[in-house]
Structure 1
């Protein structure tokens, strides 16, 4: 099997992953659409509020709780609510397809790397594929510890959009690395960076849902599908606690690599500056989150701003700012 065939198989794996994650998104949407009406009818009968994915106010949740579980019954003072079988099957299919899509993304990256005999993180297209993999992996691994079926449609929807853009606007054929990237720091620095972006992507989605649900934008009916705002906020914080040290390592490792490649730890390159800006914003988020006098909404707005800066860093800065990292397009 020659290198051209391996590169072609990498593209086939990527296309298959994109198809699977799209189907997973539709199945997660079906889960929400099927599960909520049953809870609304039970709420009308029992006169107790109910949510999908979070505990009820009027009683304990057995299945669709914020912490998860294999059971699917939800109990209140006067009634027990069971998630419809169709909704459970749709969520099960979606979860399996999400795991499989993540595996295919990893396979696609591995085949592309083997085809050109290098680590597959040399440009924006390859970074996007790796970032999509880590976002799906973060969601899937977290789903083994808590019930995140309510989050699936948002994560898979974002990944679907990312893969569509990466496969069209950002696609480049597999090729050799430029000399400045031929370093052992590439698999260390860039892999940790993509892992950080994957974790922070899921964190930003949850923060956005918290900010919207806290305001009840879109009507009360929609937000019954999600956990209470307090649960959303705590989950977002736990993800950012993981993502921030990873981004800190990215910043430090990048400076060390810059010293070896360009002779200086800091050159005021646009990519370096934006990486530090992102680090500062997330540090501000954690500080605000730890400060009792700072409203939770303000802290989460800072977190969302940090993710917006990540998007700018890997799109606008890559294409419109000339610097030492211009080869990363």
Structure 2
């Protein structure tokens, strides 16, 4: 197979794998069987692509691909996906599958975007650049989900105030009811959190390759993990503790303020994110 074709197929595998992990996360939060089934078939497709790559690699090299670190990482990721599919099919232990594939995605990202993996330096450099593109795109998409969630919380406060003051009128009826606003806000955060996690994984991998000697206490990195922590706490309060209503909307608003600080302030103070901010 040509080097360009292999590169594109590896990128496709990463994107599909990310979508599978995202859907497993949604199922983890909401016990959504449709999301679980879709995630399973996406994961099976990823396994199929990996198996084809292993088969062609063994034909080209005439040996089993475990003699180097990068070959071992690929085979390790293939083993994780294989075992998770078997567990999902026979034992129906979904949460094990979800957490196993978070680890599998990390391994796949390390392998796919490894410097020097491809024979061509130009192709290797292009792949690393595309890693940065995927990282930024996923981060912005997660921030977009958080932004819409914030808007829902603002509308929640407006609706709550109108109901409390008994201001009946057209404005009240044009705003969705409180429970729907809260549910939409929660679903957007449930999508944004795993996307941010995947973005951070890819972003740290890019930084490891392209920024040798990088300060890991960089404000942008710290800020991103603070954002992740705040929204993770939001999901914990909603799912595990059963919080609802105004308290949750306030926490969501505070979390979005951290997003703004991280995006506009910490991005400017970062030692390396100013390259694309």
What is the TM-score when the length of structure 1 is the normalising length?
A: 0.41
What is the TM-score when the length of structure 2 is the normalising length?
A: 0.48
Give the helix-richer structure, 1 or 2: 2
